Structure 1
């Protein structure tokens, strides 16, 4: 994750005026009140994506999802629509 992307996520974490159910789908996708939302400016591995590192298959998709989970655990989430489609 670049420094810009990190600060973008932090900007999204300010207090939201409404409460919503948030589920982390993968490293760049959330489900907010049942609606699938892609994070703008992010390109993370899909949740089941594997990568060969030093002759071993590593679950990098799970790592991306865990990283987003730890970022979002720091506070509230505020969303702003940038574009309608990915």
Structure 2
């Protein structure tokens, strides 16, 4: 096994493992929690689903609720440094 696994391949293995893990997570999340996916026969009997609450819980998950409270900035300190008009360190003032 040692001659097949070379150190040059380690970054490729890490990237592919990460992507595979993301795919498995998303597929498992959809099968287990998506309101449109019905695995059991009892859930598939009704033609029209009345599951607005279930769909709301699925679409507004905890991570999305957390992001809704955050400011949409990547570097808030850097953005405020360059956008602050009271800052005297800008090259335009010199």
TM-score (normalised: structure 2) = 0.25
Give the number of the structure whose residues are more often helix, by fraction: 2
Give the number of the structure whose residues are more often strand, by fraction: 1
The structure with more radius of gyration = 2
Instruction: Report 1 or 2 for greater relative contact order, CA contacts < 8 Å, sequence distance ≥ 6.
Output: 1
